[in-house]
């Protein structure tokens, strides 16, 4: 840090933001290690998946640490369904590519990682691992400049100071109907103006559950449904038509993530908005999903689709096509913070997904939690992602540090 502090003093008050950044680029800071942390937190009460097919007994996360010779550490998160593989991708494949590099040269390092993985890195776990590293690099840069990440991200619509962002409660995973109604009623009582429930149990049962939820929450609360790819296009259209009278705001992931034609057919057949993209990767994947007219609302996951560097570009593509940006967020507090920084600068940002299902990695991993108040969530304003992890909690949930 000494070299950096001396340079900043030399710069004095006369340096503007760009000059400061250029100045920082000159610093001979080097990456000394890149590590992956697999965390797992058991749940007191297991939660159902989007259908009866899955039950969650714990919540997991893969965090990334980028270490430097300046005693600064950047933190990121990987969103993946294969944590074992992501650990190897981070610590065995990308780590050697990054050792000795200047961590502030983020765009070049993104390219080095992306093209370093070749055809194997176009989609899937390699991009997920890259995403976590990219987020850690942005956290590090924010810590170097002592500024929040939202101030550093390239954007045509960056506010001077972001107002708290509108958020919806994401929950309603499979449970007996009475439990689902009690859960969603709780979100409305909490102050949420929008709620999302899972569907995918079959058209008849979904139709009954959606009707019951609408009747319970009344007409003033926005209701979204999420099938997690559980239907064919024709089934999704049948469900959509059946529940149109219940004023469903959006229908999320109606069909398989790879079925772009199915998405388009569903969107052209229904009056409600179609959302999707949590399983899509990079600007090239979103160029197809958005450019082919599959969705009204794009839902990139910053921890999966290529990190903050790539999400900025995806947000631009969405805005160019008049597609709303509503990020997918189902993770620890690290990924939650990264998603907030990006949402603050996305030109067509509409609403933030706030996962309200139990997750100690969201509520207990950092010294200060991020919470929703009056259906809004604030963007952290500390340096970097603005998250300070609790070492005791980290040790408690650690499966392995690779
Ligand atoms: Ca979803």
Q: Above 50 in pLDDT, residue 241?
A: yes
The catalytic position among 246, 321, 328, 364 is 328
7-11, 205-209, 215-219, 374-378: segment of lowest average pLDDT: 7-11
Q: Above 50 in pLDDT, residue 83?
A: yes
Q: Above 90 in pLDDT, residue 139?
A: yes
Segment 203-218 mean pLDDT: 97
Q: Above 70 in pLDDT, residue 12?
A: no
Name the band, by pLDDT with cuts 50, 70 and 90, for residue 53: low
Tokens of 153: 């991200």
Name the band, by pLDDT with cuts 50, 70 and 90, for residue 47: confident
**Tokens 């000059």 found at:** 19
Name the band, by pLDDT with cuts 50, 70 and 90, for residue 60: very high
Segment 320-336 mean pLDDT: 97
pLDDT tens sequence across 270-312: 999 999 999 999 999 999 999 999 999 999 999 999 999 999 9
Tokens of 92: 């065995």
Measured CA to CA, the distance from residue 402 to residue 400 in angstroms comes to: 6
Model pLDDT, residue 45: 83
CA–centroid distance, 108 to ligand 1, in Å, is 31
% the chain with pLDDT above 70:
92
CA–centroid distance, 91 to ligand 1, in Å, is 29
CA–centroid distance, 238 to ligand 1, in Å, is 20
Residues 6+ apart with CB under 8 A from 299: 252, 275, 276, 277, 278, 326, 327, 328, 353
Q: Above 50 in pLDDT, residue 6?
A: no
Model pLDDT, residue 377: 97
Model pLDDT, residue 318: 97
Model pLDDT, residue 24: 53
CA–centroid distance, 299 to ligand 1, in Å, is 8
CA–centroid distance, 276 to ligand 1, in Å, is 8
CA–centroid distance, 171 to ligand 1, in Å, is 10
Segment 38-66 mean pLDDT: 86
Model pLDDT, residue 20: 57
Model pLDDT, residue 51: 63
Measured CA to CA, the distance from residue 72 to residue 2 in angstroms comes to: 12
Q: Above 60 in pLDDT, residue 68?
A: yes
Name the band, by pLDDT with cuts 50, 70 and 90, for residue 1: very low
**CATH level 3 topology of 165-390:** TIM Barrel (3.20.20)
pLDDT tens sequence across 84-112: 999 999 999 999 999 999 999 999 999 99
116-120, 152-156, 173-177: segment of lowest average pLDDT: 152-156
Ion ligand 1 — residues with CB under 5 Å?
A: 226
Contact 236, 261 (CB under 8 A): no
CA–centroid distance, 328 to ligand 1, in Å, is 7
39-53, 169-183, 347-361, 376-390: segment of lowest average pLDDT: 39-53
Question: Dihedrals φ, ψ of 266, to 5°?
Answer: -60, -45
CATH architecture for the domain at 25-146: 2-Layer Sandwich (3.30)
Contact 45, 95 (CB under 8 A): no
Measured CA to CA, the distance from residue 258 to residue 336 in angstroms comes to: 26
Q: Above 50 in pLDDT, residue 8?
A: no
Contact 287, 264 (CB under 8 A): no
CA–centroid distance, 30 to ligand 1, in Å, is 38
Average pLDDT of the chain is: 92
Measured CA to CA, the distance from residue 213 to residue 177 in angstroms comes to: 9
CA–centroid distance, 166 to ligand 1, in Å, is 18
Model pLDDT, residue 41: 95
Where along the chain do its domains lie?
25-146, 165-390
Annotated active-site residue 190? The verdict is: no
CA–centroid distance, 147 to ligand 1, in Å, is 31
């Amino acid at each position: 840090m000494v070299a950096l502090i001396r340079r900043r003093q030399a710069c004095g008050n006369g340096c503007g933001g760009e000059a400061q950044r250029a100045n920082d680029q000159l610093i001979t800071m080097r990456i000394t290690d890149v590590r992956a942390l697999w965390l797992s937190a058991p749940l007191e009460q297991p939660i159902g998946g989007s259908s009866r097919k899955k039950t969650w007994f714990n919540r997991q996360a893969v965090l990334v640490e980028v270490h430097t010779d300046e005693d600064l550490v950047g933190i990121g998160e990987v969103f993946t369904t294969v944590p074992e593989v992501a650990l190897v991708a981070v610590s065995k494949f990308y780590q050697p590519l990054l050792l000795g590099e200047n961590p502030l040269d983020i765009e070049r390092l993104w390219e080095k990682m992306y093209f370093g993985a070749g055809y194997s890195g176009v989609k899937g776990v390699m991009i997920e691992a890259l995403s976590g590293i990219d987020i850690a690099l942005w956290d590090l840069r924010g810590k170097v400049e002592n500024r929040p990440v939202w101030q550093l991200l390239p954007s045509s619509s960056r506010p001077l100071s972001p107002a708290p962002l509108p958020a919806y409660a994401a929950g309603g995973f499979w449970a007996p109907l009475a439990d689902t109604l009690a859960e969603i009623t709780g979100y409305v009582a909490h102050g949420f103006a929008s709620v999302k429930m899972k569907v995918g149990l079959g058209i008849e049962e979904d139709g009954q559950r959606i009707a019951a939820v609408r009747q319970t929450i009344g007409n003033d609360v926005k209701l979204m449904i999420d099938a997690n790819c559980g239907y064919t296009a024709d089934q999704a259209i049948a469900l959509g038509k059946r529940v149109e009278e219940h004023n469903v705001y959006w229908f999320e992931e109606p069909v398989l993530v790879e079925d772009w034609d199915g998405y388009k057919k569903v969107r052209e057949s229904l009056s409600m908005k179609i959302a999707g993209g949590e399983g899509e990767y990079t600007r090239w994947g979103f160029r197809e999903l958005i450019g082919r007219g599959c969705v009204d609302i794009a839902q990139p996951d910053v921890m999966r689709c290529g990190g903050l560097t790539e999400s900025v570009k995806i947000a631009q593509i969405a805005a160019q096509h008049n597609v709303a940006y509503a990020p997918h967020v189902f993770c620890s507090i690290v990924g939650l913070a990264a998603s907030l920084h990006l949402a603050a600068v996305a030109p067509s940002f509409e609403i933030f997904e706030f996962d309200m299902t139990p997750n100690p990695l969201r509520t207990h991993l950092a010294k200060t939690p991020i919470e929703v108040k009056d259906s809004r969530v604030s963007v952290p304003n500390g340096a970097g992602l603005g998250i300070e992890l609790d070492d005791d909690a980290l040790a408690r949930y650690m499966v392995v540090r690779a």
